[in-house]
Amino acid sequence: MRTITIDIINEKAIHLLQDLELLKLIRLRKENASQKGTDWGKYKGAMSKQPISEVDQQLNELRNEWE
């Protein structure tokens, strides 16, 4: 068995998929909250902790570059 993720562009596709499920060719599963959106856990620890003053300084520098 393989698992794939698809994006539904047209609601008619849902009905076709449900028909395939009735024929026991596929199994549909609803996404749960942990599967939706970004997996933030993979970014944990990607940035080092910095004092707020350093962060403010860096933000101001970035903003000034746009001006």
Residue 38 structure tokens: 């970004």
d(CA 32, CA 53) in angstroms, rounded, equals 39
d(CA 25, CA 58) in angstroms, rounded, equals 55
Taking residues 31-48, report their average pLDDT.
70
d(CA 30, CA 25) in angstroms, rounded, equals 17
Percent of the chain predicted with pLDDT > 90: 49
- Of 2-6, 34-38, 44-48, the poorest mean pLDDT is in 34-38
Residue 10 structure tokens: 């047209």
Percent of the chain predicted with pLDDT > 70: 88
Strand segments, DSSP code E, in 1-67 are none
Predicted model pTM: 0.45
